Amino acid sequence: MAKWVAGQSGNPNGRPRRGRTVAELARAIARERVQFDDGAEQATYSRVERLVRILFTLALDGNLAAARLLIEYMDGKPVEVVQASVEGRVRTLSGDDMAALLGGAVARVGEWRLAARGAAGGLAGLLGEGQSVGDEADDDPGAA
């Protein structure tokens, strides 16, 4: 087998180009302007504009799925509120609240792993005297 020559690529043509993805093709087709004629209406729209017009027609004719889809894209989905009870404490949480709590929990687990790996005291050094994994200090005693 020959050695590589300094300054010369082992793959002079480079990586072959990938084909366009389905999403890229769909976006390109959606932007195409096309003449539409449905008897009552003749006009030139992009395909995506025509699709939205059809969704509005369906929604106004009573199609709840079309109406829901349009409303969700125009105004966003409503915020879901969840009530959770842990050891008798009930808290009302929005999606953002839950995401923040989960992010904190993931960070805490990462800290525990680091402490278990590197610190001589292991988890006891991180958690403090008399605490074990799963015990939490009540950060806000007034919250219920």
- Which of 32, 60, 75 marks a domain boundary? 75
Task: Say if 110 falls within a structural domain.
Answer: yes
Residue that terminates a domain, selected from 75, 92, 110: 75
Asked if residue 59 and residue 88 are part of one domain, the reply reads: no
Q: Does residue 109 fall inside a structural domain? A: yes
What pLDDT is recorded for position 85? 66
Residue 61: its pLDDT value, please? 94
Q: Which amino acid is at 60?
A: L
Q: Give the side-chain half-sphere CA count within 13 A for 132.
A: 0
Kindly state whether residue 40 falls inside one of the protein's structural domains.
yes
The domain tally of the chain equals 2
69 and 92, same domain (yes or no): no
pLDDT at res. 144: 45
Domain enclosing residue 123, as ranges: 81-127
Domain annotation covers residue 139: no
Q: Do 101 and 67 share a structural domain?
A: no
Which residues does residue 92 pair with via DSSP β-bridges, in sequence order? Answer: 83
* Burial zone of 41 (CB within 10 Å; 0-12 exposed, 13-18 middle, 19+ buried): exposed
Q: Are residues 61 and 86 in the same domain?
A: no
- In a domain? residue 135: no
Same domain for 87 and 45, yes or no, is no
Residue 43 lies in a domain: yes
What would the two tokens of residue 72 be?
A: 């969700």
Q: What is the pTM of this model?
A: 0.42
Whether 85 and 115 map to the same domain: the answer is: yes
DSSP classification of residue 36: E
- Residue 6: HSE in the Cβ half-sphere, 13 Å Cα cutoff: 0
Closest to 112 measured CA to CA, from 137, 140, 134: 134
Nearest CA to 48 among 39, 37, 38, 36? 36
Task: Answer with the one of 75, 101, 117 that is the final residue of a domain.
Answer: 75
pLDDT per residue, tens digit, the chain (144 aa), is 567 777 777 777 888 878 889 999 999 999 999 998 878 778 999 999 999 999 999 999 999 999 999 988 888 777 776 766 667 776 777 777 777 777 878 888 878 877 777 654 544 555 555 544 554 544 554 554
Q: Is residue 89 part of a domain?
A: yes
Which among 30, 10, 28 is positioned nearest to 19, based on CA atoms?
28
- Kindly state whether residue 138 falls inside one of the protein's structural domains: no
The pLDDT, as a whole number, for residue 128 is 53
